[in-house]
Structure 1
Amino acid sequence: MDQPHAVLVASPGLGHLIPILELGNCLSSVLNVQVTILAVTSGSSSSTETEAIRAAAARTACKITELPSMDIDNLAEPDATVFTKIRVKVRAMKSAVRDAVESMKPKPTVMIVDFFGTGLMSVADDLGLTAKYVYVPSHAWFLAVMVYLPVWDTTVEGEYVEIKEPLKIPGCKPMGRKELMEPMLDRSDQQYKECVRAGLEVPMSDGVLVNTWEELQGNTLAALREDEELSRLMKVPVYPIGPTVRTKEQVGKPNSIFEWLDKQRERSVVYVCLGSGGTLSFEQTMELAWGLELSGQRFLWILRRPASYLGSSSIDDDQVIASLPDGFLDRTCGVGLVVTQWAPQVEILSHKSIGGFLSHCGWSSVLESLTQGVPIVAWPLYAEQWMNATLLTEEIGVAVRTSELPSERVIGREEVASLVRKIVAEEDEEGQRIRAKAEEVRVSSERAWTKGGSSHSSLFEWAKGCRLVSSLENI
């Protein structure tokens, strides 16, 4: 009998590619399923996506096929947002995806697409695959918002940014102005229409895999399954199988980052990294630097030139360093370390000296932090990161956040210093509670993936339902 075969489609951008790669690793290692990953890349010759694909291919049993990029100049406006371009690009790849899947031996049993690839699900129907699923590498609240967005689209008048009262979702936390996702800021923009379209397409799948776990978001998951209105919109089963994160790898020695970390006290360093797509203004970079210095806490700052999902930045490392205050590196020498190159985030967050993470709140980074018990200073920049920051601070209780959205005003040095001290300084009482909660979440994340744990059981329940395994006897 042929080994069961699943095909996963990854959208352009490291933030979308890496979660699919990790899901593929999970299916391969836990379920012993043959996995083929079709990577729709940006097409940039210098793209870090290609590097990530090559690195993943060297350490995984999954087969990874990079699909040639397609020109979409005639399908999207020149000034279209990244969100729109990715959705349009992936949809335009339907014929290439169909041809790739049709040529596979053995024939795949199921197809899994991410949120950007819901327009590809008809390929599974055309080729007679057993089932098609959507993988949401974000959390359950995000999924609830996506599914309920088409309702708001027909019932809410005017722009969401002008709402006085939070937008209500049955059985879930309401969404206020500070939680709006970027595509919701302008209802006339194509990216908003694409977002509504995705919300309508998700329930057309046979089920949704989501990168969270029962103990973290039990109330929201229950609403998606049991609330009369929300479950009617959802229509299909929801399987929490998280946290699915990059596994820790051995870092080659010598490495200046870890040589420096090894010299620091346990839980004394705040790790600062705003992601490969995050961009700060010159003024905000200056204030963040002054705030780190003013805090008196030790810090590791990964200050990288910003990179686009569909290309790379022309800013060089010298220009990045020039954005820091005069004398900053000299004054903080020994207390802080600034790095302008790529750094191994999972390995850094798992180091015993890391006591906090100043993060843009991309969900992959959030999970990498929570699974190590590291509390967060939430610094949301774009996409769904604003709602992630609220989830972390108000519902889960593992973070502090800026008083205003960093996208709307410059966060001053005094506030930066206060937030960093609150998370890392041992004597801060609120910080003590947050650190204790972060440790509690770490334990629950491990428990979810033990044999018989909530996510382990959910994965096998899904696999049996789509015939990737014949029974639940291995649970």
Structure 2
Amino acid sequence: MDQPHALLVASPGLGHLIPILELGNRLSSVLNVHVTILAVTSGSSSPTETEAIQAAVARGTCEVTELPSVDVDNLVDSDATVFTKIVVKMQAMKPTFREAVKSMKRKPTVMIVDFLGTGLMPVADDVGVTAKYVYVPSHAWFLAEMVYLPVLDKVIEGEYVDIKEPMRIPGCRSVGPDDLMETVLDRSNQQYRECVRIGEEVPMSDGVLVNTWEELQGNTLDALREDGELSRVMKIPVYAIGPIVRNNGPIKRPNSIFEWLDKQRDRSVVYVCLGSGGTLSLEQTIELAWGLELSGQRFLWVLRRPISYLGASSRDDDDQVSASLPEGFLDRTRGMGLVVTQWAPQVEILSHGSIGGFLSHCGWSSVLESLTKGVPIVAWPLYAEQWMNATLLTEEIGVAVRTSVLPAKKVIGREEVASLVRKIVAEEDEEGRKIRAKAEEVRVSSEQAWAQGGSSHSSLFEWAKQCRLMS
């Protein structure tokens, strides 16, 4: 009997490519299926995209094919957002995608698209792939808002940000103005219309795989499945198969970051990194620096060039980045902190015993990398669904503290930065002790979810039987 074949489709951008690569690796290693990944890259592949693809190929678990990108400038507004360009690009890829699938030597048993690629699902029917699923690399609350958005679009008038009461999502947490996804802030924008379309198309699949686990979000998952208004919108099975995150890679020695971390006490360092796109204003960078210094806690800061410094398009340079810091900062904090201006291996850093907290932009991949290591979070959401993630982490899961206002709306002052960092890392802070204990509890539950017979392990096998990847 031929080995079952899973076809995964990744949208452009590292934030969409890596989750699909990791899902492919998990399907191959756990279910022993053949995995092909069609990766729609960002035009000319960025070095990080290329590196991620090469690493996946080197592991030998997945076959990865890059699909040449198409020009969609004539299909989007001149000021179209990145989100809009990606989803329109995925729809425009239909002819290329169809030919790529038809040319495969072995026919796929199942097709999985990430949620930005739902426009490609009709191609599955064209090429005879009867099982088609959507992968949501985010959490269950995000999924609930996404599929319920078409309902809200019909019943709510005006802009969502102007509504004083939180928007009700049946059976799960309501969405307040500071929790909204960036894509729904302007209902006249093309990205909002695309977001509504995706919400309509997800339930047209045969089911959804979501990167969370039962013990973390059981109530929201129940609302998506059990008989009720939300499940009647959803209509299809939801499989919680998380956490799916990158594994630790080898560390090249000597490495200055880890040589420094090795000298620090257990759980004494706050790791500061706002993601590959997490650049701050010059004013905010200065306040963050002063806050780290005032906190008296040890820190490892992966610092990007401020967006107001020498223009956003110029390349990162150590001297340019360092020049954005307060005068004398590096000298005063020598030994107490380490500033890194180049790429840093985040998973390996979060795995180090000296890391006691993570000041993060709250991208879901970063959140999972932190929670699976038992590291609590200082939530610093910047864009996309990160505002929602910050609320989830602080108010529902209880593994984080967050800024008093959204950083997108106001510069966060140094005193507040210092207070947040101390709360997470300082041993004597009572609230911090509770948050650290909860983070450890979540770490344990994340491991149990993927243990033999655990909730996510069982959910993946249930899905595999449903789509006939295994008998």
TM over 0.5: yes
CA contact (8 A) 2:281 2:306 kept: no
Q: State the distance in 2 between where 1:82 and 1:60 align.
A: 31
Please report the TM-score for the alignment, with normalisation by the length of structure 1: 0.97
Tell me which residue corresponds to 1:146.
146
Bigger CA drift: 391-400 or 94-103? 94-103
Q: CA deviation at 1:150?
A: 0.4
Tell me which residue corresponds to 1:473.
none
Tell me which residue corresponds to 2:376.
375
Tell me which residue corresponds to 2:196.
196
Counterpart residue identity of residue 392, structure 1: L
Tell me which residue corresponds to 1:324.
325
Q: State the distance in 1 between where 2:335 and 2:376 align.
A: 23
Counterpart residue identity of residue 39, structure 2: A
Q: CA deviation at 1:395?
A: 0.3
**SS of corresponding position for 1:272:** strand
Tell me which residue corresponds to 2:43.
43
Q: CA deviation at 1:316?
A: 2.4
Q: CA deviation at 1:50?
A: 1.5
CA contact (8 A) 1:375 1:435 kept: yes
**SS of corresponding position for 2:359:** strand
Alignment of 1:126-141 (within 5 A): 126-141=126-141
CA contact (8 A) 2:282 2:306 kept: no
Counterpart residue identity of residue 70, structure 1: V
CA contact (8 A) 1:208 1:239 kept: yes
Counterpart residue identity of residue 75, structure 1: L
**SS of corresponding position for 1:28:** helix
CA contact (8 A) 2:306 2:324 kept: no
> Is 1:183–2:170 an aligned residue pair?
no
Q: Deviations over 1:421-475 (max 9, x none)?
A: 00000000000000000000000000000110000000000000000011xxxxx
Tell me which residue corresponds to 1:433.
434
Q: State the distance in 2 between where 1:76 and 1:374 align.
A: 41
Counterpart residue identity of residue 209, structure 1: L
Alignment of 1:353-432 (within 5 A): 353-432=354-433
Please report the TM-score for the alignment, with normalisation by the length of structure 2: 0.97
CA contact (8 A) 1:268 1:424 kept: yes
Q: State the distance in 1 between where 2:441 and 2:456 align.
A: 17
Q: Deviations over 1:112-134 (max 9, x none)?
A: 00111000001111111130000
Tell me which residue corresponds to 1:347.
348
Q: State the distance in 2 between where 1:106 and 1:392 align.
A: 43
CA contact (8 A) 2:285 2:306 kept: no
Alignment of 1:18-57 (within 5 A): 18-44=18-44, 46-57=46-57
Tell me which residue corresponds to 2:95.
95
Q: 1:142 to 1:218 in 2, by over 3 A?
A: same
Counterpart residue identity of residue 2, structure 1: D
Q: CA deviation at 1:44?
A: 3.3
Tell me which residue corresponds to 1:11.
11
Q: CA deviation at 1:275?
A: 0.2
Alignment of 1:38-77 (within 5 A): 38-44=38-44, 46-77=46-77
Q: CA deviation at 1:78?
A: 2.1
Q: Deviations over 1:378-411 (max 9, x none)?
A: 0000000000000000000000000000000000
Alignment of 1:160-171 (within 5 A): 160-171=160-171
Q: Deviations over 1:349-386 (max 9, x none)?
A: 00000000000000000000000000000000000000
**SS of corresponding position for 2:169:** coil
CA contact (8 A) 2:245 2:369 kept: yes
> Is 1:206–2:230 an aligned residue pair?
no
Q: State the distance in 1 between where 2:384 and 2:454 align.
A: 31
Alignment of 1:217-232 (within 5 A): 217-232=217-232
**SS of corresponding position for 1:173:** strand
CA contact (8 A) 1:130 1:466 kept: no
Tell me which residue corresponds to 1:118.
118
CA contact (8 A) 1:276 1:306 kept: no
**SS of corresponding position for 2:247:** coil
Q: Deviations over 1:160-214 (max 9, x none)?
A: 0101100001100000011011011100000000100000000000000000000
CA contact (8 A) 2:209 2:241 kept: yes
CA contact (8 A) 1:305 1:313 kept: no
Q: State the distance in 2 between where 1:16 and 1:377 align.
A: 24
Q: Deviations over 1:139-173 (max 9, x none)?
A: 00000000100011000011001011000011000
Q: State the distance in 2 between where 1:159 and 1:227 align.
A: 30
Q: CA deviation at 1:55?
A: 2.1
Q: State the distance in 2 between where 1:45 and 1:30 align.
A: 29
Q: CA deviation at 1:306?
A: 7.8
CA contact (8 A) 2:91 2:120 kept: yes
Q: CA deviation at 1:228?
A: 1.4
Tell me which residue corresponds to 1:459.
460
Counterpart residue identity of residue 340, structure 2: V
Q: State the distance in 1 between where 2:326 and 2:12 align.
A: 35
Q: Deviations over 1:272-299 (max 9, x none)?
A: 0000011211100110011001100000
**SS of corresponding position for 1:179:** coil
Overall identity of the aligned pairs, in % = 82
Q: 1:180 to 1:419 in 2, by over 3 A?
A: same
**SS of corresponding position for 2:410:** coil
CA contact (8 A) 2:306 2:321 kept: no
Q: State the distance in 1 between where 2:228 and 2:157 align.
A: 24
**SS of corresponding position for 1:231:** helix
Q: State the distance in 1 between where 2:8 and 2:283 align.
A: 42
Q: 1:285 to 1:56 in 2, by over 3 A?
A: same
Q: State the distance in 2 between where 1:183 and 1:170 align.
A: 21
Q: CA deviation at 1:47?
A: 4.0
Q: State the distance in 1 between where 2:251 and 2:198 align.
A: 39
Q: CA deviation at 1:227?
A: 4.0
**SS of corresponding position for 2:168:** coil
Q: 1:413 to 1:60 in 2, by over 3 A?
A: farther
CA contact (8 A) 1:170 1:227 kept: no
Q: CA deviation at 1:88?
A: 0.8
**SS of corresponding position for 1:178:** coil
Where in structure 2 are there 5+ consecutive unaligned residues?
Answer: none
